[in-house]
Chain A
Amino acid sequence: MLDRVSIAVGEKIVLRDIDLRIDKNEVLFLLGPNGAGKSTLLRALIGYPGHLIVSGKIYFEGEDVTELPMEARVAKGLAFAHQIPPKLLGVRVKQLLEALCRKNICDVYEIANEIGVLHLLDREFGKGFSGGELKRIEVATLMAQKPKLPLIDEPDSGVDVDSIEVIARAIKKLIDLSPYRSAILVTHSALISRYIEPTKVCILMSGTIKVCDGKDLIDEVFRHGFRELA
């Protein structure tokens, strides 16, 4: 839960007075135009360095985690899928997944098969990957983390239709296997809504949440666009 949270990146306050709550069995889609601050919000939630909470509180499982560093929040069960993961020189996809699976007890090949990245296992992490491949390996790392609450940034941007389907299937499974069966997904095109149905949709614009409602809000966005909705 976010209680009147304002977030600064560097000197600049990017998000103001954000109130947001996600409950059990809730799949929240966070929509908004480019530059609205959606990714910033997810990064602030996970505690990414450089994202300063200037006011307000973040609670997870009833505990105030506002001051906790990223590693502590991840240890509590929050996990973040990046929009574009960095390239990791010389680090093979398999090595990274193996390291994650050693921590969280999982099967690298099962995960890789599920998300269709078996052919990428011996490749250098992120090097020369297509948009779809980047998203797939990112979701694969999330699956290997077994999070309580996945925070997923733009799983559908720059991705071909086949990949979206595979990614959506994996995210659904991830949600089903998580203890709260919840997730926050950031999307500006909402393409993934064809495959995953949200239970709650919030629109983030100009650094603040404009409106939250049920899944029908996506249709409104498709019909009128963000500007008109605002």
Chain B
Amino acid sequence: MGLESWLKEVEVRAREGLSRPSPFGVDVDISSFLEVKEGSPRLDEAKVKEVGVDLSAKTLYMQIDQMYYRYISRIPGVEIMRIEDFAETYPEEAKEYLWKLVDPGKDKYTALAALKGRGGYFIRVKKGVKVEEPIMACLFMSIGGLQAPHNVVIVEKGAEATVYTGCTIAPEALGLHVGISEFYVEENAVLRFVMVHSWNRVSHVRPRTGVYVKQSGKYISYYVNLAKVKTLQTYPIVHLSDNAYAYLASIVLSFEDAYIDVGSAANLDGENASVEIVSRSLARDTSNIVARASITAKQGRGHIDCRGLMLSNRASIKTIPELQALTPNAILTHEASIGRLAEDEINYLISKGFEKEEAVAILLRGFVNVEIKGLPQKVKEYIETIERLTVEKSM
């Protein structure tokens, strides 16, 4: 089967899925997003800065709405292009990588992306190439409507890279963002994926992600939602082969009446595979957060650490950790807690000479700080900036 036939099959499956709601999250009426929204795309650099994207990065992909695309790679061994250009340049490979980890008919959002999506990045880090500087991607929605990019990242054998994606929207633009992401981490390769979301109070967000980590590969994911959103639901699934490792962290801050349902799932298929799923939820105002985490294991080790912080009397946080062992060779654990900032910790810090606001900021910073080992300095700095921003917005 060639690419053309495969994409026809994708279309058939997508049409079947168009009326299928997602099992999780609020159901969104997608009918108004089926038509292409007219308008002139405009970049708001201030918004882009807010999600930490460096537009002067050596390797950059930028997409505004579903109309404007720009990409460049100045790092040898790193290939970057728009997904349509990937399909045109490498049709044989595209057939192997597109819609293989995410089912186009899974739900109405994947279906919508398969039928109406445009753009998205293809990034390939060639065999053995190790890149310290993050590869930047910016997905900006300026006029609203649908933005459904399809992203594919391939980190070849022994290569190492960080992909930093910032997704944001103009204030008051009514948009639905469905990013389809399929990541392939080959043998002994490392992919660090940082994604920062900053939407607006009327937007709906439904990213769909599948990750395949081959033998001894590592996948480290750090996801943050920083700002208002109407509804957001995502549940990336990571498949781990022999000796593969994944660290999946989600830091979710919710405002106003947002309904956020975020999780990560890992399938430990290989021998000695391991995963850590970490989630930190901070709920303000009347918002709702559901934090999911699921590990299914034939072998290996998995741990879930879910914590929720109630920043309002009217918000709600629910954590749903799931562990499933398929043989006695799997060792799976979880810990979960939800509460408010402890009064004795605040008082302790005040007794050390901090004002109450400073004490709260220190504790919030601690709450959102997750320990990711082995990050390059540059990536650490980005994450520290995100942590500071999260604390500022939590207060």
A interface residues (Cβ-Cβ under 8 A, vs B): 46, 48-49, 70-71, 74-75, 79-80, 82, 85-86, 88-92, 95-96, 99-100, 103-104, 124-125, 141, 145
Contacts and interface: CB of A to CB of B under 8 A. Distances in A.
Contacts of A48: 347, 351
B73 interface: no
A89 B365 CA distance: 9
Nearest to B370: A90
B15 to A, nearest CB: 46
Interface in B365-380: 365-370
B354 interface: yes
B347 A75 contact: no
A90 B342 contact: no
B352 A86 contact: no
B348 A95 contact: no
Nearest to B387: A90
Contacts of A99: 354, 358, 362
Given A74-B352, A75-B353, A80-B351, 17 more contacts: A71-B353, A71-B355, A71-B356, A82-B351, A86-B344, A88-B345, A89-B307, A90-B367, A91-B362, A91-B369, A92-B369, A95-B362, A95-B365, A96-B362, A100-B353, A103-B353, A145-B352
Contacts of A91: 362-363, 365-366, 369
Contacts of A90: 365-370
A82 B348 CA distance: 8
A141 B350 CA distance: 12
Contact of B353 (A89, A92, A145): A145
Nearest to A141: B352
B347 A89 contact: no
Nearest to B369: A90
B366 A88 contact: yes
A75 B343 CA distance: 20
Contacts of A46: 351
Nearest to B354: A99
Contact of B350 (A71, A89, A95): A71
B348 A86 contact: yes
B375 to A, nearest CB: 13
Nearest to B344: A86
Interface of B: 307, 342-345, 347-348, 350-356, 358, 362-363, 365-370
Contacts of B345: 86, 88
Contacts of A75: 353
25 contacts: A48-B347, A49-B347, A70-B350, A74-B353, A79-B351, A82-B348, A82-B351, A86-B348, A88-B363, A88-B366, A90-B365, A90-B367, A90-B368, A91-B362, A91-B366, A92-B369, A96-B352, A96-B362, A99-B358, A99-B362, A100-B352, A124-B366, A125-B366, A141-B352, A145-B352
B129 to A, nearest CB: 30
Nearest to B358: A99
B320 to A, nearest CB: 21
Contacts, number: 67
Contacts of A79: 351-353
Contacts of A95: 362, 365-366
A71 B367 CA distance: 23
A105 to B, nearest CB: 13
A145 B354 CA distance: 10
B366 A70 contact: no
B95 to A, nearest CB: 45
3 shortest interchain CB distances as A-B pairs: A90-B366, A91-B366, A90-B369
A191 to B, nearest CB: 24
A85 B348 contact: yes
Contacts of A86: 342, 344-345, 348
Contacts of B343: 49
Contacts of B367: 89-90
Contacts of B363: 88-89, 91
A47 to B, nearest CB: 9
A92 B368 CA distance: 12
Q: Which of A71, A90, A96 has the most CB of B within 10 A?
A: A90
A94 B164 CA distance: 28
A70 B348 CA distance: 10
B276 to A, nearest CB: 15
B364 to A, nearest CB: 9
B306 to A, nearest CB: 13
A79 to B, nearest CB: 7
Nearest to B352: A141
A86 B367 CA distance: 14
Given A90-B366, A91-B363, A95-B362, A104 B353 contact: yes
A83 to B, nearest CB: 12
A49 to B, nearest CB: 6
A71 B350 CA distance: 6
Contacts of B347: 48-49, 70
Nearest to B348: A86
Contacts of A74: 350-353
Contacts of B344: 86
Contacts of B362: 88, 91, 95-96, 99
Contacts of A103: 353-354
Nearest to A80: B351
Contacts of A49: 343, 347
Contacts of B351: 46, 48, 70, 74, 79-80, 82
A164 B368 CA distance: 35
Contacts of B348: 82, 85-86, 88
A46 B354 CA distance: 14
